[in-house]
Amino acid sequence: MRALLFLVLAACIAAPATTTTTTTTPKPMDQQSELSSVLSSLSWLTGDWQGDEGAEHWIAADGAIYGVALQATGMFEVMIVDDGEGAGPADGVVRLIAMPGGAKAVEFRASTMTTRSARFDNPAHDAPKNITYERTPEGLRATLDVDGNRQITFTFRPSTRQAAPELEAADRAFASDTAAKGLDGLMSWFAPDGWMLDKDHTAKMTGADLRAAWALRFEAGTLTWTPIASGRSGKLGFTVGKGEFTGKNPAHSMRTTYLTIWKQQPDGAWKVLFDTGRAVNTP
C-alpha cells in the first residue's frame, strides 16, 4: 500500500483479456479534483476503456493516476502517472511508470502534453521507446513506438466498470488485521506467490525479504488505509485506495495512495498478488 513508500521511509529511518464492461457514454471527468494543477490537464485519461484485446481502467487518487489492465490469462499491467517523487512538493516532472506483470518498473517522462494527448519517452529503453495516449472522438488510443520504425496501436471505447465489493471488503479486512496483529496480520494476506516492488522499483520483494522490509517499517510507525475503487476480471481483481503512515517521529508521517492486485485462491479466498503505491506530494 505500500511499496513505493519504502523509498521514503528508508531515507527517514537512515536519517490482455477483458474485464466486465459495457459500452456507454463517457462519464464526466469528476476525478479532476484528485489531481495536481499539472496532472489536471490529463483528467481526460481517467475512466474505463474497453478495447478489442482488453480493458484499461484509469483512476485518480490524491495526486496520481493509477492505470490497471487485467487479463484472463492471469497476467496484468499496472501504470502510475504522477508529477513528483517522495512526500515533499511535486517537482512538476510528469512521469508514466509502467509495470508490466508487476515486474521491473520502467519510467517514461512526458515530452508533450495537450488537453487531449500526452507522449511519454524513454529513449534508453529497449522497447517501447515512447508511449502516446490520445483522446479520440470514439474513445482512447494508445500508441507504442517499438523501435523508431514500428508502432503498435490499441484503440479503446468508453465503458463502465463494475465495482468488486468482495475485494473492497477483503482490502478493509487486510487493513483491520494489520492494525490488530501488526506484521503477522499484514503478511497473512499475501498469496504464497505474492510480492511488492522494492524501493528502487527494479525487482520483486517476496517472502522473507518482504517480511524483513516490513518489520523495519513497523518499527518506524503504523499504516492505515481504505479502498476507493475496485474491479475484477475472473480470478484477478484490483483495489485502489488512500492511506496514511503515522510515524513515531511525526516528521516521518505522510499520506499515501496504492494499487493492489488480488488473486482468488483455490479455496475461494482473495489474497494479495501484487502491491504498489506512492507517497502523496505535499507543499
Q: Domain of 88? A: 16-158
As a whole number of angstroms, the distance between CA 224 and CA 179 comes to 7
As a whole number of angstroms, the distance between CA 37 and CA 63 comes to 9
Instruction: Please give the share of the chain, as a percent, with pLDDT higher than 90.
Output: 70
Instruction: Report pLDDT digits (tens) over 9-41.
Output: 333 333 333 333 333 333 444 577 899 889 999
In this prediction the pTM is 0.88
Confidence band, pLDDT 50/70/90 cuts, at residue 4 = very low
Residues 130 and 26 in one domain: yes
Q: Are 71 and 54 in contact (CB under 8 A)?
A: yes
What's the CATH number where 246 sits? 3.10.450.50
Looking at per-residue pLDDT, the higher value among 210 and 200 belongs to 210
Number of domains in the chain: 2
Residues 72 and 124 in one domain: yes
Residues 148 and 27 in one domain: yes
pLDDT over 70 (residue 3): no
What's the CATH number where 86 sits? 2.40.128
What is the number of other CB atoms lying within 10 angstroms of the CB of residue 115? 10
